[in-house]
Structure 1
Amino acid sequence: MTEQDDWEREFDHRWASSAEHKEPSARARMLAARWKESPPDPAPFRADPDPVVPRRSSWLSTAIVLGCVAAVIVLLGYAQLHGPY
Structure 2
Amino acid sequence: MSERDDGEREFDIKWADAAAHKEPSARARMLAARWKENPPGPVPFRGDPDPVRHSRRRSWISTAVVLGSVAAIIVLLGYSGFRAGY
Q: Please, what TM-score do these two structures have when normalized by structure 1?
A: 0.50
Distance 2:49 2:12 in 1: 40
> Which portions of structure 1, spanning 4 or more consecutive aligned residues, are displaced by more than 6 angstroms?
none
**Larger gyration radius, structure 1 or structure 2:** 2
Distance 2:13 2:77 in 1: 63
Number of corresponding residues: 69
RMSD of equivalent CA atoms: 3.5
* 1:46 Cα deviation from its structure 2 partner: 3.6
State percent identity of aligned pairs.
68
Question: What does the per-residue CA deviation read over 1:4-63, in whole Å, with 9 as the maximum and x for residues that have no partner?
Answer: xxxxxxxxxxx686532565432222001222333211121342464x242062433222
* Richer in helix (by share): 2
Unaligned residue ranges in structure 1 (runs of 5+): 1-14
Unaligned residue ranges in structure 2 (runs of 5+): 1-10
Counterpart of 2:75 in structure 1 is 74
* 1:69 Cα deviation from its structure 2 partner: 0.9
